[in-house]
Amino acid sequence: MIKDTKLLSDQDWKNLHGNELFVAMLRNKVKLHDENKPKQEPLTDVVDYLEFGTEGLCYYQAENIYGTIKYEVYFEHAIDKDNFISFYTTSRGLDIIKK
């Protein structure tokens, strides 16, 4: 199965280092740390959104700190960053309502 994705791999991210696109993506960085999600549970909806829901390129790093997963997400375009923030807040709001 072939799927189109704008999500960069670690090697792609290293290759960008220092050019204008890399600097633009640093300007559109989002940190994500959700205290309400169960520890050790990755945010699969976030990764799915990043893989298929952006117009420009994006890259994320996930780090497990004392059982809580923290994300740093970089976007090529500011509109993708804003759309992601809206998606995430809506998604978590719906999770709270469901409880």
**Alpha-carbon span 31 to 7, nearest angstrom:** 17
The reply to whether 84 falls in a domain is yes
Q: What is the structure's pLDDT at 27?
A: 92
Which residues lie below 8 Å from residue 75, measured CB to CB, with a gap of 6+?
25, 28, 29, 30, 54, 56, 57, 58, 81, 84
Q: How far apart are the C-alpha atoms of 28 and 79, rounded to whole Å? A: 9
pLDDT of 76 reads 94
In a domain, 90, yes or no: yes
pLDDT tens sequence for the chain (99 residues): 666 778 888 888 888 888 899 999 999 999 988 665 655 555 778 888 888 888 999 999 988 877 778 889 999 999 999 999 999 888 888 877 877
- Cβ neighbours of residue 79 under 8 Å, at least 6 residues apart? 55
Q: Is residue 5 part of a domain?
A: no
Q: How far is CA 86 from the centre of its chain?
A: 12
Report yes or no on 36 lying in a domain. yes
- Number of domains composing the chain: 1
> Is residue 16 a part of any domain in this protein?
yes
Range of the domain at 67: 10-98
pTM of the model: 0.82
Flag whether 47 is in a domain.
yes
User: Considering the domain boundaries, does residue 67 fall inside one?
Assistant: yes
pLDDT at residue number 77: 94
Alpha-carbon distance of 53 to 92, in angstroms, equals 17
Helix (H) or strand (E) holding 12: helix 10-16
Task: Output the pLDDT for position 20.
Answer: 92
Q: What is the pLDDT of residue 69?
A: 81
Q: Residue 4 domain-assigned?
A: no
